[in-house]
Structure formats: C-alpha cells, structure tokens
C-alpha cells in the first residue's frame, strides 16, 4: 500500500475496558491517591482546561429600589462602630456558593451612613473605591486628608491607607463600595489594622489636599517625582467626568474622533503618575450612551460590574437581558458576551473591573464577534 493511502484513512484507537480484576485494582489505587491527597490528571483535565472559560459566577441584577430600602432599614437597626466597622450590604453572586463576592476577584456593597454618624478609621491591604450614586454632606478621611463625597464622585482608598467617614448632613448617604477582597483572600495577602476611634480630621473643605496637588488636567507637582502604585488623587469630581463625556459627544457631532463607538462616550479614571489604572487590581470607567445607542457585543477575560447612574436601558449578558434603571447593579462574568443598549432617554453607567490583574499577568483577551 502506498504511503498516500494512509493519509486518507482515519484509525480510531479505543482503550479497552478494564477487566473486573483491573477495575478493582484501579479503585484501590484511586482510594490510596485520595488518602495521599493526590488527584490523577486524566480524571479531571476537562474541568481544569476547558476550551473557553467556564465561570462559576453568574450574571445577575440587583435592583436599586430593593438595595436602598434594605440599606435604610439597616440604618435604623444596626449601629456603626468598632467590630462591624461599616454598614455595608455586600453583593453575593448566586453562583459563588454564598460568599459575599460579586465575582471571584471583586467585592462590592452598598454602604449607608446616617446623619451625624462617624465610621471609625481603619486600614487594610485590599484596594478600595467608593462611587456616589446620590447625596452629599459626607467626608471621607484618607491618611488624615478630608475628602468631600458628592453625587457622581469617585473616591479612592488604595491598600494600607487609613480611612474613616463622617456625615454632617441632615440626610443619609448611600454609595457603592468596590474592593479586591476575594482576590487577596485567595492569594493570602490580606492584612487589617484598626486606626483612630475619632476621625483624624473632622474639617469639611471644598477640596481635599490631594485634589489641590494632583487634580489639575495635564499638570503634576514637581515636589512629587516618580511613579506611585495607586493614584494620589483622593476624589475624581463628577464635574470633570461629566465635562469629558460631553466633550467627546460634541467632537462626534463635529465629525472628529474621540468616542468609544457611535453615540458611546467613555472615560477611564487614571493614575496621573503613570497614565495607568487608578489602582493595581481595579479599573474604573464611566460610560455615556446617547438615546438608543448600543455597544458592540464583546467577550473579555475578567469580571466587569456596571451601576446605572442615570437613564434606562438594557444590559445583555450571555443569554440574559436585564432592563436597568438608576442605581441598578449588574455583573458580567469572565468571557460572557455582553453589550449595552440605551433607551430613548440615554444611559450613564459607572463601571469597575479586575482587568489590571490579567493584563499584568499577560492573560487578558478580548474578542468582538462581527455580524454578517
């Protein structure tokens, strides 16, 4: 037979079934492996190395009306102080076995502070941010720097910075917390330390010291050369975010580049000392979609979370579609195809993700399937 004849033949090789004696010996061997804390690769490779990511986390929507109602009730029943530290309602992803994790790497919560309350100072190795959906009259104190918190502001507390909060207003405030608690818990890198019982600064300045130094577009103080691992800016003001988004859409109207997609303005909050992400493990963005605009369907390695700031629309994740309104929170698990479509009043969305982790590890991947 010629060599070419072999190329057209497909030979299947089937492993013969074990005899009863061999099956008994295999069972004895597997039992011994279990006792020795060993697992044979040939019995688990499909689960260890799937063709594409198979996240345990599932896409889910948390409704703002439910969140704020429960936060207010907790404000009536649960005090803020040492031990509990914060009145925070953590999002527990239904696919993660009851852990208070919104994804395998990210933790998120609604934190609620009543009028006149102080949350005592502490610090931890976990990176954290706060995004204010509504209200004002609260100051967060980060390493002794009093930082105002207002609607639409992004506030940073990078790892190992002392921080506490106080509310001088006559109304409560609720905001979104985001941290990398699950990632650091899995990596065994978490540390925690109590700080001052009383806030180290109870002043209420219009601008924090960090803003006065760092929050001037395109300018940095010569007194602080070099790079920092996290952004030195304590507050990213809504006024700057709103103006940047409006200017992108104005450029689109004038026929110039600048938007992320048709009718889709977007910004990434950055560390002015590096141009990179605000913190080493968390990326923060803000997206604005014109009325009826939509994003391209996208697959990404990593976990993304949206909170609606204003407007209404639909967030599609895999086979699920979530109709969303102000304050609603939706998570997107790794490699689940997602897209966003605004309703006729447009849609503003705050977003955070764990993408910096995977980019640093060279594990990031993005796929945008094109239609016919």
> How many Cβ atoms are within 10 Å of 203's Cβ, its own excluded?
9
Residue ranges and CATH numbers for the domains of the chain are 60-215 (2.60.120.10), 235-367 (2.60.120.10)
Q: How many CA atoms lie within 13 A of 77 on its CB side?
A: 6
SS3 state of residue 265: strand
Please tell me the distance from the alpha carbon of residue 71 to that of residue 89, in angstroms, as a whole number. Answer: 7
Q: How many CA atoms lie within 13 A of 21 on its CB side?
A: 0
> Could you tell me the pTM of the whole model?
0.91
Nearest to 148, CA basis, from 139, 136, 135, 137: 139
At which residue do the structure tokens 């009093």 appear?
146
SS3 state of residue 47: helix
- Spatial CB neighbours of 343, under 8 Å, sequence gap ≥ 6: 291, 292, 311, 312, 313, 314
Looking at the DSSP assignment, which residues form a beta bridge with residue 236? 154
Straight-line distance from the first to the last Cα atom of the chain, in angstroms, rounded to the nearest whole number = 46
Per residue of the chain (372 residues), give pLDDT as tens.
455 454 455 556 677 899 999 999 999 999 999 999 999 998 887 778 889 999 999 999 999 999 999 999 999 999 887 666 899 999 999 999 989 999 999 999 999 999 999 999 999 999 999 999 988 999 999 999 999 999 999 999 999 999 999 999 999 999 999 999 999 999 999 999 999 888 999 999 999 999 999 999 999 999 999 999 999 999 999 999 999 999 999 999 999 999 999 999 999 999 999 999 999 999 999 999 999 999 999 999 999 999 999 999 999 999 999 999 999 999 999 999 999 999 999 999 999 999 999 999 999 999 999 754
CB 296 within 8 A of CB 143: no
């Amino acid at each position: 037979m010629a060599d070419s004849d072999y190329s057209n033949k497909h030979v299947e090789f089937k492993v013969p079934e074990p005899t009863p004696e061999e099956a008994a010996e295999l069972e004895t061997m597997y039992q011994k492996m279990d006792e020795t804390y060993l697992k044979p690769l040939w019995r688990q490779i499909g689960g260890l190395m799937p063709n594409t990511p198979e996240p345990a986390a599932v896409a889910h929507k948390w409704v703002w009306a439910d969140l704020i109602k429960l936060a207010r009730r907790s404000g009536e029943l649960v005090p803020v102080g040492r031990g509990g530290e914060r009145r925070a309602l953590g999002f527990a992803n239904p696919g993660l076995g009851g852990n208070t994790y919104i994804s395998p790497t990210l933790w998120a919560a609604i934190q609620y502070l009543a009028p006149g309350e102080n949350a005592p100072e502490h610090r931890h190795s976990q990176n954290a941010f706060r995004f204010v959906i509504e209200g004002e009259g609260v100051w967060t104190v980060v390493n002794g720097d009093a930082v105002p918190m207002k609607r639409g502001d992004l506030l940073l507390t990078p790892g190992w910075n002392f921080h506490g909060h106080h509310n001088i207003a006559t109304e409560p405030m609720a905001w979104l917390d985001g941290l990398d608690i699950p990632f650091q818990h899995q990596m065994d890198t978490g540390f925690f330390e109590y700080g001052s019982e009383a806030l180290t600064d109870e002043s209420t300045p219009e601008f924090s010291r960090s803003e006065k130094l760092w929050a001037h577009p395109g300018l940095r103080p010569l007194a602080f050369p070099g790079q920092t691992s996290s952004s030195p800016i304590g507050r990213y003001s809504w006024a700057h975010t709103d103006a940047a988004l409006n200017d992108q859409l104005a450029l689109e109207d004038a026929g110039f580049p600048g938007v992320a997609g048709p009718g889709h303005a977007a910004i990434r909050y950055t560390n002015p000392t590096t141009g990179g992400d605000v913190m080493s493990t968390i990326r923060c963005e803000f997206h604005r979609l014109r009325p009826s605009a939509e994003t391209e369907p996208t697959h990404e390695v990593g976990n993304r979370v949206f909170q609606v700031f204003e407007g209404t629309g639909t967030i599609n994740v895999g086979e699920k579609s979530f109709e969303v309104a102000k304050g609603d929170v939706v998570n997107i698990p790794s490699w689940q195809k997602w897209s966003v479509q605004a309703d006729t009043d447009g849609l503003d969305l705050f977003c955070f993700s764990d993408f910096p982790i995977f980019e640093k590890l060279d594990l990031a991947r993005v796929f945008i399937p094109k239609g016919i």
